[in-house]
Amino acid sequence: MDRSFDRHLSAQDREVLASYNYGNCTGAQERPAVLVVDVNYTFVGENREPVTEAIKRRRHACGYSAWSAVDALKPLLDAARAKGLPIFYTTAGVRPDLQNLGAPALKAGSAPKPSADRNLRDGNDIVDEIAPVPGDIVLTKTKPSAFFGTPLVSQLVALRVDSLFITGGVTSGCVRATAVDAFSNNYPSTLVADCCFDRFEASHEMSLFDLGAKYVEVASSADAIARIKALPDRLFGSPR
């Protein structure tokens, strides 16, 4: 892994890091599922363009970093489907009046709102390039974590999933909340770094550092794909 976050660490940070066993986190295990967090048009945007341009149409869009993650995510999903692994997607389930959001609606207007531009896709639609196929499971949520207020845990229990590959956006927000809740629910997880994205480069990199130090294993998509391909066939029964 390219430790790009190293450039954000002070000399003191490096000294502390060297003296502790940080980063020794358990990742995906024998019966993993793939979790795709909020890779929708609200956070990706319609066009491959810099974030400074993308936010002119969608103020939560992440521009090139999101599209780079989409490109890395597609072969990972192909590998997971070839093995019959469960694939879960999340997206927002927000009412137009925002009344089911609760506190986020009060946070400086930070809650995603429907666009006034009728030519744009519904922001909750998962982007076409990695859209769900029959057999995938799509969960709607109103809070950052994929676990909070959704049936995710019960679905994982029913399928006897023992761990997760976590992908999506944004790294410092919904992905981070999901990764911490996966840890709290005793699901060892691998955060696939290049399949995650954020509108702020520093937030992305330091979230990878922080989550990898405490809660999840951090790996590249190439490593995750190799591990998926090495799994036995039909772990979860007959092909869909």
State both tokens at 15. 């000294």
Mean pLDDT, the chain, integer: 89
Residue 98: per-residue pLDDT? 53
Per the CB < 8 A criterion, the answer to whether 34 and 85 are in contact is yes
**pTM of the entire predicted model:** 0.88
Residue 94: per-residue pLDDT? 62
Residue 120 has pLDDT above 90, yes or no: no
- Out of 2.60.40.1180, 2.40.30.10, 3.40.50.850, 3.40.50.150, which CATH number does the structure's domain 25-229 have? 3.40.50.850
Q: Concatenated DSSP letters for 83-118?
A: HT--EEEEEE---TT-TTT-GGGGSTT-S----S-T
Q: Find the range with the poorest average confidence among 108-122, 153-167, 177-191, 201-215.
A: 108-122
> What integer is the mean pLDDT of 73-89?
97
> What integer is the mean pLDDT of 57-70?
95
- Ranges of beta strands (E only) in the chain are 32-37, 87-92, 137-141, 163-169, 189-197, 217-219
